[in-house]
Amino acid sequence: MNASLSLAVLSDTIVKGKPINWVGVRAAALAAERDWAQGAPMPEGSAPILTAPTGNLKMTKGDGLPVYSLSLAPADLSGYEVCPWRTVDCTRGCIGHRAGNARFPSTMRGRVNRTIELAENPYRFFRRVLRDLSNARKRGPFAYRDNAFSDIPWGSILPTLHTFADYHYNYTKSVQMAFASLRVRKEHAMCGVRGGSLMHHTLSFTGDNIRECMMYLRAGGNVAVIMNKRKADPVPDTVWGFPAVDGDANDRRYMDPAGSVAVLTPKAGLDRTRKWVVHPCETGSDSAEQRIESIH
């Protein structure tokens, strides 16, 4: 495993990993989809690739559908970049290499191997994903989060990936991706089409994107913030003037009310003094205005 993730933090700059050849990946994904639809035999060594609901207690917490997820190695940990919009702060505090199951070397090896397979053997990667999604479907309704520790526009690579689950959701730092999914959900709602199976993006606050977060909230989107509080402390009723929900109670962000802020507690000894950590007193819209002014 390379060490560039921690090096990027030490130098306080982002050192991006090798770019993935997305054109080649897309072609391989389409070939995998064709062969999957025709029932072609699976390539050798095709163990399950998705994390089942029992394998991730955080995502399964609370009432609701079982959650399947795809866990890659975040940032450039595998050598390949899977978080194009990451910041120094989120890289430093990323739970994908610092918390939960990341403490198990075998878990991290699995995340790295899956990421390398996406970049270097995308045909097998997508055959495995399609097989696991279709098996999950046979077991009943489920929710799917395919960016557990990455920020990849999977729907643009292979739209079929988002036709199996009842709910699809991700956190993202891409305001474009967030607005695009919100627009599609609104268009479907106007036509009376059930929007559950459409991608739901929660935009993550980075410390620098307060304007984008406010625009997204006003448009009915959802935002996630890390708040400088203990887990047992209550979540304020509002953040920046918008209703707040307890993001630690469950991971099902697609159930959050439109235009609300999910409040998460810092994990893994995160530095609470950084600008992306929100304070419990930031309840009113004036605190958002102050953040906007401080950017100038």
* Nearer Cβ to ligand SF4 (28/102): 102
Interface stretch with ligand SF4, choices 88-96, 131-139, 244-252, 273-281 (CB under 6 A) = 88-96
Interface stretch with ligand SF4, choices 41-49, 84-92, 103-111, 281-289 (CB under 6 A) = 84-92
User: What is the β-pairing status of strands 238-239 and 242-246?
Assistant: antiparallel
Q: Which of 4, 51, 56, 91 binds ligand SF4 (CB under 6 A)?
A: 91
Interface stretch with ligand SF4, choices 35-43, 147-155, 232-240, 247-255 (CB under 6 A) = 147-155
Task: Verify binding: residue 86, ligand SF4, rule CB under 6 A.
Answer: yes
Interface stretch with ligand SF4, choices 12-20, 22-30, 57-65, 86-94 (CB under 6 A) = 86-94
Task: Verify binding: residue 207, ligand SF4, rule CB under 6 A.
Answer: no
Q: Which of 20, 83, 158, 262 binds ligand SF4 (CB under 6 A)?
A: 83
* Nearer Cβ to ligand SF4 (91/160): 91
Interface stretch with ligand SF4, choices 83-91, 132-140, 155-163, 264-272 (CB under 6 A) = 83-91
Q: Tokens 């819209």, residue? A: 285
Task: Verify binding: residue 96, ligand SF4, rule CB under 6 A.
Answer: yes
Q: How far apart are CB 87 and ligand SF4 at their closest, in Å?
A: 7
Task: Verify binding: residue 74, ligand SF4, rule CB under 6 A.
Answer: yes
Task: Verify binding: residue 94, ligand SF4, rule CB under 6 A.
Answer: yes
Integer Cα distance of 209 and 203 in angstroms: 10
* Nearer Cβ to ligand SF4 (174/250): 174
Task: Verify binding: residue 212, ligand SF4, rule CB under 6 A.
Answer: no
Task: Verify binding: residue 149, ligand SF4, rule CB under 6 A.
Answer: yes
What are the residues whose beta carbons fall under 8 Å from the beta carbon of 106, sequence distance 6 or more?
A: none
Q: What does the binding site for ligand SF4 look like in residue numbers (CB under 6 A)?
A: 74-75, 83, 86, 90-91, 94, 96, 149-151, 173
